[in-house]
Amino acid sequence: MFFIGKGAKKKDIAPEHLPGHIAFIMDGNGRWAKKRGLSRNIGHAEGSRMLKEVVKACFSLHIRYVSVYAFSTENWARPKEEVDQLMKLLLEYLKNAEADLEGRAVRIRIIGSRKGLPEDILREIDRVESNTAGNGEMDFIIAINYGGRQEILEAARTLAGEVAAGTLRAEDIDEACFEGHLHTKGIPFPDLLIRTSGEQRLSNFLLYQCAYTEFHFPDVLWPDFKERHLHEALYSYAGRKRRFGGL
């Protein structure tokens, strides 16, 4: 049994009842700041700080994969000043990633389109991905400039090109082949998706991958998401019966 301490209910959860992959939609930074009369940017900075804590908490629970939606393809539509601030936070986050992980063997992987991302971010992505590639205890996947529909379209386009070039037969395109063309190639699908702030939608995050994912929508803004909220999500998940379309 696996003891999740300091939780709301203090209860054991057997390791096989913990999710192998948790995806987070870190929503509510702006509302958190507004409630305090602060700028949205401060909300995002707090959100970034909270993310570091959540990653450490997941690591100590031996969660094998953690994904987060840091910047969507739709987020470019926000005011330039907010986009610039988010890029600055991402850059800082990537630059400090290894130091913040304090020796934990976490492999950092970035998914999303590289097109349109600033040069300095691209450089940091390459650096942090290659520097952490040998770490095998947890994979931390950060979605930057990511959109689920775009990812599916891109896969379809690549596959169509392979068929046109004669290197692939259309009838050989099965689930495994298609999944091998997604950004998440080799990463198991999320078992649990947590979206904070009370909003209950996917917002173009991991559309294909979340077909059988369990959802949890706590009524807490992301900068307030504490370890106990993670534990509540895990208790809720552990109590669910997943049938994957069967009985």
Q: What's the first-to-final CA gap in the chain, in angstroms?
A: 27
| 27 is known as an active-site residue | yes
Catalytic annotation, pick one of 75, 100, 135, 204? 75
| 139 is known as an active-site residue | no
Q: In this chain, which of 18, 58, 70, 155 binds ligand FPP, going by CB under 6 A?
A: 70
Residue among 142 and 234 whose Cβ is closer to ligand FPP: 142
Q: In this chain, which of 19, 47, 112, 147 binds ligand FPP, going by CB under 6 A?
A: 47
Q: Which stretch binds ligand FPP (CB under 6 A): 7-15, 22-30, 105-113, 206-214?
A: 22-30
Is 51 near ligand FPP (CB under 6 A)? yes
Is 30 near ligand FPP (CB under 6 A)? yes
Q: Which residue has the tokens 């950004």?
A: 183
Q: Which residue has the tokens 């991958």?
A: 209
Q: How far is the C-alpha of 104 from the C-alpha of 90, rounded, in Å?
A: 20
Cα angle, residue 78 at apex, residues 192 and 140 outer, rounded to 5°: 30
Residue among 19 and 223 whose Cβ is closer to ligand FPP: 223
Neighbours of 75 (CB within 10 A): 17
Binding mask 74-103 for ligand FPP (x = CB under 6 A): -x----------x--xx--x----------
Rounded to a whole number, what is the largest CA-CA distance in the chain? Answer: 60
Is 205 near ligand FPP (CB under 6 A)? no
Binding mask 210-229 for ligand FPP (x = CB under 6 A): ------------x-------
Is 28 near ligand FPP (CB under 6 A)? yes
Q: Which residue has the tokens 């298609």?
A: 178
Residue among 67 and 209 whose Cβ is closer to ligand FPP: 67
In the bound state, the residue with its beta carbon closest to ligand FPP is 30
Q: How far is the C-alpha of 86 from the C-alpha of 84, rounded, in Å?
A: 5
Inter-residue long-range contacts of 163-172, CB under 8 Å, 24+ positions, other chains counted: none
Where does the chain have alpha helices with state H?
A: 29-35, 40-60, 80-100, 119-132, 148-165, 175-179, 227-238
SS3 98: helix
Residue among 13 and 90 whose Cβ is closer to ligand FPP: 90
Pair 155, 126: CB distance under 8 Å: no
Q: Using CB under 6 A, count the residues that bind ligand FPP.
A: 18
In the complex, the residues that contact ligand FPP under the rule CB under 6 A are 26-31, 44, 47-48, 51, 70, 75, 86, 89-90, 93, 142, 222
